[in-house]
């Protein structure tokens, strides 16, 4: 497996075919619901500061296409959209 080191930019991984090993952790830029990508892809991850209703969350969430929504990582519940 080829080793790639990046100091900025995005990694794109193919489902079930690639692995990322983190040595020093992962840093997410906090984002409000209104600033999430308008056309997210399956598996995108974000650190959400506020949900669509404006409630403070400060939680990790991911996008899934089965229900076309953002879910919280800790309990798989849907992120409020309004």
Q: What is the mean pLDDT of the chain?
A: 87
Closest residue by Cα to residue 47 from 39, 56, 38 = 56
Q: Which residues contact 28 (CB under 8 A, 6 or more apart)?
A: 45, 46, 47, 60
CA angle 52, 47, 20 (to 5 degrees): 140
Entry pTM: 0.76
Could you tell me if 59 and 71 are in contact, meaning their C-beta atoms sit under 8 angstroms apart? no
Q: Looking at residue 13, what is its pLDDT?
A: 66
Closest residue by Cα to residue 65 from 36, 35, 42 = 42
67 has pLDDT over 80: yes
Separation CA 51–CA 3 (nearest Å): 36
């Amino acid at each position: 497996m080829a080793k790639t080191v990046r100091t900025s930019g995005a990694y794109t991984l193919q489902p079930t075919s690639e692995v990322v090993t983190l040595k020093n952790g992962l840093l997410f830029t906090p984002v409000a619901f209104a600033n999430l990508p308008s056309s997210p892809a399956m598996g995108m991850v974000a650190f959400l500061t506020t949900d669509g209703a404006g409630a403070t969350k400060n939680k990790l969430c991911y996008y899934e296409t089965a229900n076309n929504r953002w879910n919280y990582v800790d309990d798989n519940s849907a992120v409020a959209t309004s």
